[in-house]
Structure 1
Amino acid sequence: MAPVPDLPNEPQDDIEAYVGLARQDAEERARERGWATVRSLAPGTIITMEYLVGRLNFEVKDGLVHRSWQG
């Protein structure tokens, strides 16, 4: 997979810092830091692969963020 480009409309944020946080805490923090869209998904959820600038995705298991990625 190609590297994710650094696009101008995305917050400069350490997305790995969300791993281990409770879902609600992670979502609130992401919105406070300027993410336009925050999406929490269960493991294995089928999603499309389009890249949406300003979106932060979380994979949530047992109420905790296990993975985070942009787009």
Structure 2
Amino acid sequence: MAPIPTPSAEPADPTEAYVGLSADVAERRAREQGWTTVRSLPPGAIITLEYLMGRINFEVEGGTVIRCWRG
């Protein structure tokens, strides 16, 4: 039987650091920090709440990140 993989650690940068940035700059910075998945969403988007290791979520309004969270 194959061993169970160990998930890699998520980047340690604070999510608050992305709020106020343009969506393009925030996505570029997140990828540079090691986030494997970057998801941009409009305000009020209906999404599933499963936690995905290595994903960072941006709520974007008018091209600017207004909220950010992990998973």
> TM-score if structure 1 supplies the norm length?
0.88
Corresponding position: 1:40 with 2:59: no
Q: Where do residues 1-71 of structure 1 align in structure 2 (5 Å cutoff)?
A: 9-71=9-71
Query: Cα offset for 1:14?
Result: 1.1
Structure 2 distance, partners of 1:16, 1:50, is 21
Question: Based on CA coordinates, which of the two structures has the bigger radius of gyration?
Answer: 2
Structure 2 distance, partners of 1:17, 1:44, is 21
Identity value in percent:
63
Structure 1 distance, partners of 2:68, 2:8, is 19
| Superposed structure 1 runs of 4+ greater than 3 Å apart | none
Structure 1 distance, partners of 2:59, 2:24, is 12
RMSD between superposed Cα atoms in Å: 1.1
> TM-score if structure 2 supplies the norm length?
0.88
- How many residues end up aligned between the 2 structures? 65
